[in-house]
Amino acid sequence: MKTIVTKAADRGTADHGWLRPAHYFSFGSWRNSDKIHFGTLRVLNDDWIAGGGAFPTHPHDNMEIVTIPFTGALKHKDSTGGQGIIKAGDVQIMSAGTGVEHSEANESAIEEVTLFQTWIFPKKRNIAPRYDQRSFNVTARENKWQVVVSPREEDNALWINQDARFSLTNLNEGKILQYENAFAGNGVYLVVISGSVEINGIKYQKRDAVGISETDSFNITALQPAELLAIEIPMELPKF
């Protein structure tokens, strides 16, 4: 098993007043040649958005964009006609495909929004842009994986244009949970949303992350009650 560790304190940060992001991979003005991508995972931003804060309309193409909010409510609108409001328990995906413009805004003028946003390189280029979101029962992920994004019909999740899978879990202290790849040879980028866990003898705390590859399964032990996000992705970039 091969691991690449990113501690919370090692992430790139910025302060734009209304927006305070933490970057796991090079993004915007923050550049780190050792942190460009993990397999097909290109961006993972841990964003804080102040009340009234908004990303103005901007373009994307040929990227799978997944947003997972933790607090507050985020409003989305795009050029395909897709629109919605997402909050804790919801997951949103946008396939940028041939090109799309969208805006994102804190629905509240007062309350903050916190979220993860990820960008994944697609399996097929230039598909028709699409938007989707879904509310998930958070209690259904207690001490087990809840798949929220996947191309596999049997996972009953939001569809993604890639052999990738997003799974969430809430673990009780002392619980041991195994992760098994849905796609052989994929890697997994595991993020500790909260709490503390141990993997292969190494301790990870809130907002720490580890990229795991060259294995199709591994065990996680919760040292404290913990929330985790597992992003399973192909390790080879697509050849277009």
pLDDT, tens digit (0-9, with 9 covering 90-100), for 24-39: 999 988 998 889 999 9
> Would you call 2 exposed, middle or buried from its count of C-beta atoms within 10 A (0-12, 13-18, 19+)?
exposed
Nearest CA among 125, 159, 133, 21 for reference residue 78: 133
CA-CA-CA-CA torsion sign (210, 222, 69, 133): positive
Instruction: Centre a 10 Å sphere on the Cβ of residue 127 and count the other Cβ atoms it contains.
Output: 15
Give me the pLDDT at residue 82, please.
84
Q: In whole angstroms, how large is the CA radius of gyration of the chain?
A: 17
Contacts of 222 (CB under 8 A, 6+ apart): 171, 172, 173, 174, 175, 176, 177, 195, 196, 197
Q: What is the pLDDT of residues 156-198, one digit of tens each?
A: 999 999 999 999 999 999 999 999 999 999 999 999 999 999 9
Nearest alpha-carbon partner for 215 in 229, 194, 193, 235 = 235
> What is the C-alpha to C-alpha distance for residues 77 and 172, in angstroms, rounded to an integer?
37
In a domain, 31, yes or no: yes
The pLDDT-based confidence of 238 (bands split at 50, 70, 90) is confident
Expressed as residue numbers, the domain containing 110 is 2-233
In a domain, 134, yes or no: yes
Q: Give per-residue pLDDT as tens, 25-74.
A: 999 889 988 899 999 999 999 999 999 999 989 999 999 999 999 999 99
Q: How long, in residues, is the chain?
A: 240
Establish if 142 belongs to a structural domain. yes
What CATH number is attached to the domain comprising 79? 2.60.120.10
What's the structural domain count of the chain? 1
